[in-house]
Structure 1
């Protein structure tokens, strides 16, 4: 994230909380929407220098983000309603939209750089091996598909499980408002740390695509026996590159 990134997220979340459309009609898929907002913020501000005084600019970009996410939320909502008329099944789909691996990954993005540095420092102090693969290289993705030392799952699956279970605990915000590592308290194995290091070196967009492919294999039938790949459609929506930041100066 850029300088003052947490400020930007907090600012936009406050703007988001005032949006009646999301708090009312789309409340059952609020977590999915929140994940989409974080992903959009990362797209719009990632790698850019943004000063806290740019409140008007933040509001302008927020309006663009919200416009796009309202469209996405509408498509998701209408698709689910079309697939089934059963309220319990609809509630089940809302749960899936709120709780899936893509949301887990998106929610971690604001702390990606901090986590990378924290893992590197922690590994040095604990004499844990470090990946030799270059950041964003194809070799990183290949290594994530390898089995963990326990042979129970792939390294990528293990990372997703860790982020899902401990995501909010890996990085905390102290009383001064600064990011703080919570690594020592989580009791992770050295091999877990190694897998996490690989993950922080991976290209986020490649991770998105891998997860999209995973969910793309899941489909259901509606009342007319027509198959729908709802998850694939929704994942595809989340990968859209929207709005523009051409008016922000890069440094």
Structure 2
């Protein structure tokens, strides 16, 4: 991890969180470093979600199955295998659905280059955001002593799906085994596992959730959920 020092402040970031691309709207900090303001990032994220809503896409809903995605639906992953968190999950799920990607692995232009690969000409990247804090030291006007303050910041940057990149090592392009077709089939081992938990499991409707006050698990009817194993485990555990 490298540390970048600016005027009267220390900000720490790694290669996984690159500086904002030049194409994005920017603001100049005291050190002259180009950064994207939090308002700009909020606007872009909000605009993306609103655009999906207008198309009838509820980005924050985890689908019952991956549809065009290979294997079970998973959280988007960085180049180093770590999963994205927060709103980045929604943004990259939406990008995968919109552009038809079957892989859930993403990386920056620079990361692709470091692996000896390159983004295909004309490919359009997807927005992700990075939020953190940096420490700033200022003199207290009353005491005259230096005090440290934690200043929050947020910036957006661009990533590309591995399917938009040429020349990557083979393991980045490996696809998971397709999810087994479980519709209409019951796995007795799993049925026994859920019985052993002692949990009250009710079926009906089209939502899966745990009711804390009444202490029961609600699941849609069996035929509705193609990937029933995953959803049961998530709700019960």
Could you tell me the TM-score, scaled by structure 2's length?
Answer: 0.22
More strand by share: 2
More helix by share: 1
Could you tell me the TM-score, scaled by structure 1's length?
Answer: 0.21
Higher relative contact order (CA 8 A, sep 6+): 1
Q: Which one has the largest radius of gyration?
A: 2
